[in-house]
Amino acid sequence: AQTVTQSQPEMSVQEAETVTLSCTYDTSESDYYLFWYKQPPSRQMILVIRQEAYKQQNATENRFSVNFQKAAKSFSLKISDSQLGDAAMYFCAYIPGNRGSTLGRLYFGRGTQLTVWP
Amino acid sequence: DAGVTQSPTHLIKTRGQHVTLRCSPISGHKSVSWYQQVLGQGPQFIFQYYEKEERGRGNFPDRFSARQFPNYSSELNVNALLLGDSALYLCASSRRGLAGSSYNEQFFGPGTRLTVL
């Protein structure tokens, strides 16, 4: 079974500080992709960053970076220099890269609500 | 370019009724996926359609059905509504339907908030 677990229902951070959101996943696939999505109160699901499982180098997008530990099946998101606009629900998600009946299916965690304090 | 659009934005129904939700993908995208997001949880996969054919189905009862039209827009239908069907229904479009060896990003619409009373 393919599952995604986010163990932190809520996190908070002071503006300009750094925060790390945790995610673990379980899969028997060798080829897959991992994502962090942001869902603000507007409900629009926005892709923050993605990581290809075959790449050893951790993905980085401006203030957002990941720590991908393939053997441990861990995929954490680090937000540096946090801004008020980063406040949102963050979802970790996984999609298998191999062909099969679950093509195109994203598996999501339950989310982590991030609060940013001024 | 216009993003994924969904209609209606909000909907209130009573138990036992039927509902139809609509989704228009980004121009040039041929795949549409539907997700159900119950309050406090992550989205759950319902269906994926590609080139008007069902390519994937999640663990949802037969009361849920969908279809994709020649212009690649899609409808999600839910019959005999239950209180537990109250959720945000998200539509996502992607250029292709096959994950293959290269990533095929899914772009999400703003969702339809369904309330069943």
- CA–CA distances in Å: residue A39 to residues A96, B10, B80, B90: 22, 18, 30, 12
Query: Which DSSP letter does residue A17 get?
Result: S
Under 8 Å between Cβ of B115 and B9: no
Rounded CA-CA distance A27/A96 in Å is 9
User: What is the least distance, in Å, from the CA of A67 to any CA of chain B?
Assistant: 20
If one compares A3 and A103, the residue with the highest pLDDT of the two is: A3
Q: Which pLDDT score, from 0 to 100, does residue B97 have?
A: 57
Q: What is the pLDDT of residue B101?
A: 45
Q: How far is CA B57 from CA A78, B44, B99, in A?
A: 33, 11, 16
Quick check: A100 pLDDT over 70?
no
pLDDT at A102: 46
**Cβ contact A91–B42 (<8 Å):** yes
Q: What is the largest CA-CA distance in chain A?
A: 47
Which of A14-23, A56-65, B102-111 is least confident? B102-111
Lowest mean pLDDT among A7-11, B23-27, B94-98: B94-98
Say yes or no for a CB contact (<8 Å) between A109 and B42: yes
Per-residue pLDDT band at B105 (split at 50, 70, 90): confident
Residue numbers in A near B103 (CB within 8 A): 33, 50, 52, 97
Binary contact (A97, B100; C-beta < 8 A): yes
Confidence label for A109 from pLDDT (cuts 50, 70 and 90): very high
More confident residue, A52 or B6: B6
| Closest-approach residue (CA) in chain B for A51 | B103
Report helix, strand or coil for A112.
strand
Residue B14 has pLDDT above 80, yes or no: yes
Question: What's the pLDDT band for A1 if we cut at 50, 70, 90?
Answer: low
Nearest Cβ partner of A47 from B40, B105, B113? B105
- What is the residue-averaged pLDDT of chain B? 91
How far away is chain A from the Cα of B76, in angstroms, using its nearest Cα?
16
Put simply, the answer to whether A111 touches B41 (Cβ < 8 Å) is yes
Q: Which of A21, A24, A43 to mutate to test the interface with B (most CBs of B within 10 A)?
A: A43
Identify the burial level of A55 via C-beta atoms within 10 angstroms of its C-beta, where 0-12 means exposed, 13-18 middle and 19 or more buried: exposed
Quickly list H helices, chain A.
Answer: none
pLDDT at A29: 83
Confidence class of residue A42 from pLDDT cuts 50, 70 and 90?
confident
Q: Residue B71 has what pLDDT?
A: 94
Q: What is the mean pLDDT of chain A?
A: 91
Give residue-wise pLDDT tens across range B64-100. 999 999 999 999 999 999 999 999 999 999 887 555 5
Interface contact flag, A43 B110, Cβ < 8 Å: yes
Question: What pLDDT, on the 0 to 100 scale, is given for residue B55?
Answer: 86
CB contact under 8 A, A103 and B58: no
Chain A positions with Cβ closer than 8 Å to B: 4, 31, 33, 42-47, 50, 52, 91, 93, 95-99, 101-111
Task: Please determine, for residue B50, whether its predicted confidence score (pLDDT) is greater than 80.
Answer: yes
- Residues B15-37 as b/e (b if ≥16 CB within 10 A, e otherwise) read eeeebebebbbbeebbbbbbbbb
